[in-house]
Amino acid sequence: MSFFPDEVIIEVLARLPIKPLFKTRTVCKLWHGLPSDKYFVKLYNQVSDKNPMVLVEVHDSTKPNSSLICVDNSTGVSEFSLDFLRDKVNIRASCNGLLCCSSIAVKGVYYVCNPMTREFKVLPKIKDQNLTRFYPDSEATLVGLACDPSRGKFDVVLAGYQCAGSSRRPDKTFACLIFDSDSNKWRKFVSSQEEIFTHMNRNQVVYVNSALHWLTGSGSYILVLDLNFEVWRKVSVPDETRYGTGNRVYLLESDRCLSLIEISDTWMKIWVMKDYERELWHMVDRVSLGCIKGLVHGIFPIAQTGECVFLATHKQVLVYHRTSWAWKEMYSVQNNATLPLWFSAHAFRTSIFPCE
């Protein structure tokens, strides 16, 4: 006889990490079926939304292969592995608990995986090899992952400038390939764009309102791919960040809304788009950077909620707690890292989302 109602037990189990949760499936019939129960999956994913994490690839000059760590505000730092893919990969995008990874050995091969459940799907290889020769690094300039738990599907987007003949010089033809998990097929459309994207712009793709969003290299506006209508459009940024400030600006998600974080020498300003249709931005926080003055020029925001912001430097991962105004070091590299941590850091949250 249970001491607690099933409703209470379900609320408790929804707050477990995925690995312990799956171990509890052997306890009884009710618990065994929870990971496939629609109500529980929705509850679990809603709880996970409030607990952002950061995945970081750590490059150690003394070791042949890099390692992955997961930085969690609640449980700290843990090792992380994608060895179940049986391939050496780069993480290119993260969305709602899924990762999109590209094979290093074989160009044009992409995986979508849930690293917590260790499920994965190998996407059909792109038949037209010219489509993988985007400028500048022989794979798509932009990679986006759109995972929609309410619809139980995901899309992968590869987009970039096609190269003119054998010269590898990009022209203005902006090709976009979209993989649909429902049809298990790629489709393509072509447009004309003249955008430049920095490394951080490429990594920080945000999926909200059925669209993928990238901040352009100039920071003057956000390039949006509407997945419902398969069209590109532009979204404005706050006037205060657009005109002549000289500050660094980054695009993140905040509680299912678009957010911009502006960093100057002394302040970090957080903007949230409260009204998506009217493109209305509101500054919700202004944070003094005096406590981390020596790190300001090399700090990059990676993930956030309404309660905290994760930031990465060359060798550290920090978290800023917005209610207590407190900074905390979550991780520090103890070896000779060949690349800064922010170079390969991605926002992440756990989820029960099948990708097979």
Domain that holds residue 194: 36-347
DSSP string for 99-159: EEEEESSSTT-EEEEETTTTEEEEPPPPS-GGGG--TTTTS-SEEEEEEETTTTEEEEEEE
The CA-atom distances, in angstroms, between 313 and each of 103, 133, 139, 294 are 26, 31, 26, 11
pLDDT at residue 21 greater than cutoff 80: no
> What distance in Å separates the CA atoms of residue 91 and residue 302, rounded to the nearest whole number?
14
Q: Is residue 21 part of a domain?
A: no
Structure confidence by residue, pLDDT tens digits, 198-226: 777 778 899 999 999 999 888 889 999 99
Structure tokens belonging to residue 340 = 């800064």
> What distance in Å separates the CA atoms of residue 259 and residue 271, rounded to the nearest whole number?
5
Burial class (CB in 10 A: 0-12, 13-18, 19+), 51: middle
Structure tokens belonging to residue 216 = 């352009």
Q: Is residue 355 part of a domain?
A: no
For the domain that residue 124 is a member of, what is the CATH number? 2.120.10.80
Structure confidence by residue, pLDDT tens digits, 87-139: 999 899 999 999 999 998 888 899 999 998 899 999 998 765 554 444 444 56
What are phi and psi for residue 326, nearest 5 degrees?
-110, 140
Q: In this structure, which amino acid lies at residue 213?
A: H
> What distance in Å separates the CA atoms of residue 211 and residue 198, rounded to the nearest whole number?
20
Mean pLDDT of 161-186: 77
Q: Is residue 220 part of a domain?
A: yes
Mean pLDDT of 185-195: 85
The pLDDT of residue 288:
95
- Percent with pLDDT over 70 in the chain: 87
Three-point CA angle 149, 154, 157, nearest 5°: 140
Q: Is residue 31 part of a domain?
A: no
Structure tokens belonging to residue 313 = 């430097």
> What distance in Å separates the CA atoms of residue 174 and residue 195, rounded to the nearest whole number?
10
Global pTM reads 0.89
End-to-end CA distance of the chain: 37
DSSP string for 18-86: HHHHHHGGGS-HHHHTGGG-HHHHHHHHHHHHTS-EEEEEE-BTTSSS-EEEEEETTTEEEEE--GGG-
How many residues are given for the chain?
356
> What distance in Å separates the CA atoms of residue 127 and residue 339, rounded to the nearest whole number?
33
Structure tokens belonging to residue 132 = 């993988």
Q: Is residue 13 part of a domain?
A: no
Structure confidence by residue, pLDDT tens digits, 252-270: 999 889 999 999 999 999 9
Q: Could you give the number of structural domains in the chain?
A: 1
CB atoms within 10 A of CB 343: 17
Asked if 306 and 67 touch (Cβ cutoff 8 Å), the reply is no
Q: Is residue 5 part of a domain?
A: no
Structure confidence by residue, pLDDT tens digits, 300-327: 999 998 899 999 999 999 999 999 999 9
Mean pLDDT of 13-19: 74
Mean pLDDT of 30-43: 75
How far out from the chain centre does Cα 291 lie? 27
Q: Is residue 115 part of a domain?
A: yes
Interhelix angle 38-49/6-13, nearest 10 degrees: 50
The CA-atom distances, in angstroms, between 174 and each of 134, 137, 195, 234, 250 are 9, 15, 10, 15, 23
Q: Is residue 155 part of a domain?
A: yes
The pLDDT of residue 136:
42
> What distance in Å separates the CA atoms of residue 332 and residue 77, rounded to the nearest whole number?
10
The maximal CA–CA distance of the chain, rounded, in angstroms, is: 73
Structure tokens belonging to residue 8 = 């209470």
195's CB contacts (< 8 A; 6+ apart) are 174, 216, 217, 223
CB atoms within 10 A of CB 60: 16
